[in-house]
Amino acid sequence: METTPTPSPRPVMGLHDLPMWESVKARAMALQRCDDCGEWLYPPGPCCPACLSPRLVWTPVSGRGRILSWVIFHRHYLPAYPPPYNAIAVRLEEGPTMISNLEGAMPGEGCIGRAVRLVYAPMPDGMVLPRWALA
């Protein structure tokens, strides 16, 4: 008997999120960048938080960052994520902070400040998620 994969939790789509998720699906993540002052935005929004300009351009990110913080969950919150699983906060080279998961080994002592690179994780249900791997 064939089993259906547990569906990945779907992103909560705000008014400005679709282009980012389309770029992730294409494995070329882009975030908004202000065309006037150069500030990077995440999460996406209607205007630049630094200068209030509405001139935002979807720009590919470098895919490089550093771990700011991490946690390992031992409780089962989501069907697609059996414990234990990790979540890490990554400061992108461009400035914004993103939360996702570290691929491979679980984070541990001494991982704060470690360099990571963006990877694209295809889920069993076809969803593609941005994840991180130690650089």
Per-residue confidence at 99, pLDDT binned at 50, 70, 90?
A: very high
What's residue 1's pLDDT?
Answer: 56
Q: CB neighbours of 96 closer than 8 A, spacing ≥ 6?
A: 31, 40, 41, 42
List the structure tokens of 91.
């400061």
Which range has the worst mean pLDDT, 7-16, 34-43, 48-57, 111-120?
A: 7-16
pTM for this predicted structure? 0.90
